[in-house]
Amino acid sequence: MDDAAPKPLIPQAGEDKRGENGYLGYLLRQAAGAYRHRVERALADLRVTPPQFSVLTMLATYPGISNADLARLALLTPQTVSTIVANLERARAIVRQPHHYHGRIQRIDLSETGKSLLATCRERVHGIEQKLTGGLSREEESALRKWLVRVATSA
pLDDT band at 91 (very low <50, low <70, confident <90, very high): very high
pLDDT for 9:
84
* Apex 37 CA angle, 31 and 41, nearest 5: 150
Is the model's pLDDT at 22 over the cut of 70?
Answer: yes
Ordered by start, the domain boundaries in the chain are 23-150
Is the model's pLDDT at 55 over the cut of 60?
Answer: yes
Give the rounded percent of residues in the chain with a pLDDT score beyond 70.
Answer: 95
Average pLDDT over residues 119-135: 97
Average pLDDT over residues 13-23: 85
Could you give the dihedral angle defined by the CA atoms of residues 66, 68, 69 and 70, in that order, rounded to the nearest 10 degrees? 80
pLDDT band at 39 (very low <50, low <70, confident <90, very high): very high
Euclidean distance between CA atoms 26 and 125, whole angstroms:
23
pLDDT for 86:
96
Cβ proximity of 103 and 111 under 8 Å: no
Euclidean distance between CA atoms 1 and 15, whole angstroms:
33
> Mean pLDDT over all residues of the chain?
91
pLDDT band at 2 (very low <50, low <70, confident <90, very high): low
Q: Which residue has the higher pLDDT, 104 or 126?
A: 126
Q: Under CATH, which number does the domain 23-150 receive?
A: 1.10.10.10
Is the model's pLDDT at 104 over the cut of 80?
Answer: no
pLDDT one-digit tens code per residue, 63-77: 888 888 999 999 999
